[in-house]
Every structure is written in C-alpha cells, then in structure tokens.
Amino acid sequence: MDHFHFKRGRLYAEDVNLSDVAAKVGTPFYVYSHATLARHIQAMESAFNGYPHVVCYALKANSNGAVLRLLAQAGMGADIVSGGELFRARKAGIPGQKIVYAGVGKTESEIRDALRARILMFNVESTEELREIDRVAGLMARRAPIALRVNPDIDAGTHPYITTGMKKYKFGMPVEEALEGYRLARRLRNVDVVGVHKHIGSQLTEMKPFLESAERLVNFVGRIRAEGMDIRYLDMGGGLGIRYDTETPPEPSEWLRNLIPVVRSTGCTLVIEPGRSIVGNAGMLVTRVLYRKRNDLKNFIIVDAGMNDLIRPSLYNAYHRIEPLVRKKRAIIRADIVGPICESGDFFAHDRDLPEVRRGDLLGVRSAGAYGFTMASNYNSRPRVAEVLVRGDRFHVVRRRETYSDLMAKEQVPSFLKPSRKRAAK
Ligand SMILES: Cc1ncc(COP(=O)(O)O)c(C=O)c1O
C-alpha cells in the first residue's frame, strides 16, 4: 500500500492532508512517511529469512536526525563515508558495532573518530589508505578491523555518475591489486582482516550485475582464505533501485532470495548497505507554482523549489513523477517544470504532460526521499527547505526551514572591512 495517496482528490501522506502542511509550514518542504519507512525496513529485514546479516543503511541517501533515529530504533546499522556521517549515526544511537566506513578519502581525524567508536569495519579503498589506518591505529594502541573494497569491474547498467564498480572509476581496488592489499594487511601490525566489500553502483534495476559481482566476490574470498586469512563479513554494498517511473527493480525479497544462495557457501555474515530502497519512495518534495510563462516553443511552469533543493534531475537527468496535490478537472498541457535558480539546468522535468496548473497550486515531486535533502545546497543564497515527518494523522517538523541569518551564520567579516568610527564619521 502506498502511504502517499489521494483522498477525495487531495494528496495525503498517511492521514495528513499535505495541503494543510503547506499552509502551516510554507513551501517548499520535504515530507517523509513514517509508515513507509517502517514498511521498507521490515521488507528488508524479513527478506534475510534467518540468514546472519547486518543492514547498514547508507546515510548519504537521507541523514535527517529523526529519520536516522527511527532507523536506529528499528535495529539498522550505518554505512558512512565521512566523520560527519559517523557523528550523525552515533547521535541517532547506532552502535559502532553496526557501522561500516567506506570512501576514498578518509582523513586522519576521521579514522581516529571511527576507531574510537569501535566500528564494525573500515571499507578500505587503497593501499595508501590501508597503511594510514594501520599507522593511526598504532598511535592509538588500537586494532582496526578492515575489509578491502574490491572493484569487480562490472557495468551496473545505471547512470555513469552513480556507477562505481568499473576500473575507470576511483572506487575500490581491482581484484589482483586487492589480493596484494590483503597480503599487505596481514603483515601490518594494527589491522585485522575481517571482511571483503564491494558496491557497484546505485539505482540498479536488474539482478544480473548484483549476481555477477557477488560471484566474483565469493570467488575472491576463497582465494584470500586459501592464504590463511579469516573473512567473516561479506559486504555486498547497496544499490537496489526503486521505481521512479516505469522501472521494475527487484523487491528486497527477490534481491536477497537470489543473493543469499551465492553467499551461503562462505558462511560469512552478509552485510548490505541499502540507501535509496529504504528512503527514496518514503519521501516527496512539495513545491508551489509561482508563475507560468510561454514562448513560441514551450510552456514553463516556475515553482518555488529549485535545483539547490533537489538536484537529481539536473545532475543525472533523473525522472521524478510530478503531480498536483489537489486533483481538478483541467486540460492537459505539456510544459517544462523549472525552478527559480539562474541556471538553464535548473529543472525538474522537461516536456512533461500535466493538468494545467495555475499560480499558487501545489505540486508534489514524488520519490524524493533519497539524495534529495542530503544533496541540497544554498546556491543562489536560498535557505534550505523544511523537512517534515508524518506519522498517522500528525506531522512533525524534523528540520526547520533555514532563515536568511542561517545563510550568514558562519561568515566573519575581517576587521579591516568593518565600518570604523573614523570612516563612519566622514
Ligand atoms: C559504498 C556505498 N554503499 C551504499 C550506497 C547506497 O546506495 P543506494 O542508495 O543505491 O542503495 C552507496 C551509494 O552511492 C555507496 O557509495
């Protein structure tokens, strides 16, 4: 059941009329559905069917503190890529033992923080990083649990910007180099080899690349074990796609039903890092129509949200369903739906058919719960929008809308630019 649904022609999130939220909170805003999040977590958890696992939710998809707390309380771990994400995960109550840490550019202070938090493992992306983790762990008299991120050189068949498991991209290490990396790790004094990691890309809609890369990884585990190393965790990354338009990605149940038999022979605990599949369809962006205009080529609908609020269409040419929050009998028009930012790339849809909306109408940009707010910026000095969590018939502002003062809160004016009394007197 979709918890974003129409009742008497009005779009609701659970039992909350989203037009009422707009009236109280203003626009634009992101809204997340508690019931949808809970259902997605449950679908993922139950799909393991008893197989030993850790679900490390990828914070980069949506790291709102309330959303994270909800996920933490449901038992989710975290996949992090920065010290900031570690901070958020810990604040939400996610135990270190359920945190995995990837990313090609971990700094010394980030490594220190992760060691202090006693995370489950570092997913290491280069041998230089491996040596650095060993060095820092030595200084702290700790042992660092590690997996190496293997780049299985598989085309995930998704947008190049969210494909990661091919040699031409910066992530992980090719298989042969990773083997050398594991040999090095065994010689280092302050690291413990505990796992193997891969993540080949995001928004995958087919099983095939998941299975091919999983088979390569399992094969690789055999080779490392043959050298006497103990691999306990197989981290298969995230990447499970969702439906934005007409895609038919595997359900979590199908994904894991196919993946587990490949992994089972290793006896390893299966780690997965889903982001989008947990939060993507649990959120939407609500925006208001400011103006309409047309030239002899096109209709434009100008809304109050921009690419700084949701960059996916501009960055990946991504499709989001867009519909009025109130259904009215109106003619269908074809239009570009664009934001107020001074960039031609500031659009949500090109040549989209939709009912002829008017100034003041509200539009819902669907499937915006993942890589929405987390990728937002203040470009054009636009305060970032509010985030709202709906649960049943109530809604809660879980991040207030930024103010103009917020925009400048961290800036400092050097004294030589401050108006002096002398200058002011002139
Ligand atoms: C290492 C890693 N794990 C997990 C994810 C989450 O991917 P998704 O949101 O597609 O599940 C990403 C996303 O880019 C990632 O880089």
Mean pLDDT of 345-359: 97
Higher pLDDT, 324 or 165: 324
Q: List active site positions.
A: 342
pLDDT of residue 420: 77
pLDDT of residue 244 exceeding 60, the answer is yes
**Interval between CA 295 and ligand 1 midpoint (Å):** 41
Write down the domain spans for the chain.
4-31+280-408, 34-276
Mean pLDDT of 128-144: 98
**Interval between CA 274 and ligand 1 midpoint (Å):** 6
Beta-carbon contacts of residue 325 (< 8 Å; ≥ 6 apart): 10, 11, 18, 19, 22, 286, 361, 362, 363, 364
Mean pLDDT of 342-359: 96
Per residue in 164-193, pLDDT tens? 767 777 888 999 999 999 999 999 999 999
pLDDT band at 27 (very low <50, low <70, confident <90, very high): very high
What is the C-alpha separation between 96 and 336, in angstroms, rounded?
46
Q: Is 102 in the pocket of ligand 1 (CB under 6 A)?
A: yes
Per residue in 181-225, pLDDT tens? 999 999 999 999 999 999 999 999 999 999 999 999 999 999 999
pLDDT above 90: percentage of residues in the chain: 92
Task: Outline where 196-352 has alpha helix (H).
Answer: 208-226, 252-264, 276-279, 312-316
**Interval between CA 35 and ligand 1 midpoint (Å):** 23
3-state secondary structure at position 177: helix
290 close to 69: Cβ distance less than 8 angstroms: no
| Pocket perturbation via mutation, ligand 1, pick of 79, 99, 121, 204 by most ligand atoms within 8 A of CB | 79
**Interval between CA 224 and ligand 1 midpoint (Å):** 25
Per residue in 48-96, pLDDT tens? 999 999 999 999 999 999 999 999 999 999 999 999 999 999 999 999 9
Beta-carbon contacts of residue 3 (< 8 Å; ≥ 6 apart): 13, 14, 33, 35, 36, 39, 282
pLDDT of residue 155 exceeding 80, the answer is no
DSSP state of 406: H
Cα dihedral across residues 393, 398, 402, 406: positive or negative: positive
pLDDT band at 1 (very low <50, low <70, confident <90, very high): low
pLDDT of residue 37: 98
What is the C-alpha separation between 388 and 20, in angstroms, rounded?
12
| Pocket perturbation via mutation, ligand 1, pick of 150, 198, 202, 213 by most ligand atoms within 8 A of CB | 202
pLDDT of residue 423: 60
Whole-model pTM: value is 0.96
Mean pLDDT of 259-278: 97
pLDDT of residue 322 exceeding 90, the answer is yes
Per residue in 367-390, pLDDT tens? 999 999 999 999 999 999 999 999
pLDDT of residue 2: 82
Domains 4-31+280-408 and 34-276 equal at CATH topology level:
no
137 close to 190: Cβ distance less than 8 angstroms: yes
The CATH superfamily assigned to 4-31+280-408 is Lyase, Ornithine Decarboxylase; Chain A, domain 1 (2.40.37.10)
| Ligand 1 atom nearest 238 alpha carbon | 11
Q: Which residues of 97-116 are buried (b: 16+ CB within 10 A; e: fewer)?
A: ebbbbbbeebeeebbbbbbe
The CATH superfamily assigned to 34-276 is Alanine racemase (3.20.20.10)
Q: Is 273 in the pocket of ligand 1 (CB under 6 A)?
A: yes
Q: Whose alpha carbon is nearest atom 13 of ligand 1?
A: 202
Beta-carbon contacts of residue 1 (< 8 Å; ≥ 6 apart): none
What is the C-alpha separation between 67 and 74, in angstroms, rounded?
11
Mean pLDDT of 226-236: 96
